[in-house]
Amino acid sequence: MLLSTTRSRLPSLAPTLGGGGNPHDAAPSDHRLDVLREVLYPANTAAPGSASPVGARHGNHLARIEAVLPSHEAHETIERAYQLLRRREAEARKRVLDAKFASLTAACDELEAVTRQGVNRQVYDSAMTRISQASAAYTAAQQGIAQGKRKTPESTFIENRVPGLIPREAWVPTETRGAGWNYGWERPPNA
């Protein structure tokens, strides 16, 4: 019955306040508030033989803790075992990461051994120098710029393309939809 109490059944403190003030200083006018307060916040938290107290404290909590954890040494042993477990897990993670790093380093060394000497320098040099491309699109773009015309996306793409990095079959990036794959494409004879 106490749990089903609604707000309408609880007494109001407003009439006892006398027009304002601290509501905690007001004396309750109804014994039902005292009963509710005693149930929620008991003065003596539990009877000595009670197994489940309502309050936050229990009369014989020290004896109960001693029954669960008989000694300080047992607690320290459990703590040391847990720290040892954490250390072993960390060492296992470190071994796995070290093995991955060693494998990655070996793969990079193998890649350097297999790669021809100077390939990296060739890619860098070709990217840094302006190649005339010897293509009609590039020369047409240069002539158009000289005449005051704007560059087309195709000419910009061809002008900025680094040979060997982008396949010749790659589409020119445009905002409109592409024409699809050209199955009749053949490599130009001059390139």
Rounded CA gap, 55 and 53, in Å? Answer: 6
- Hunting for tokens 């990461």 — which residue is that? 97
Rounded CA gap, 40 and 5, in Å? Answer: 14
Could you give the number of structural domains in the chain?
Answer: 2
Question: What is the DSSP secondary structure assignment for residue 183, as one 8-state letter?
Answer: T
Query: Averaged over 19-28, what is the pLDDT?
Result: 62
Residue 63 maps to a domain: yes
Query: Averaged over 162-171, what is the pLDDT?
Result: 64
Residue 62 maps to a domain: yes
Mean pLDDT of the chain: 71
pLDDT in tens, 79-122: 999 999 999 999 999 999 999 999 999 998 888 888 777 666 67
Residue 36 maps to a domain: yes
- The residue segments making up the domain with residue 33 are 28-47+54-68
Report the 10 Å Cβ neighbour count for 13.
15
Residue 184 maps to a domain: no
pLDDT in tens, 149-164: 777 776 676 667 666 6
Residue 133 maps to a domain: yes
Residue 75 maps to a domain: no
Residue 98 maps to a domain: no
At residue 155, the pLDDT reads: 65
Residue 150 maps to a domain: yes
- Hunting for tokens 């024409």 — which residue is that? 179
Global pTM reads 0.31
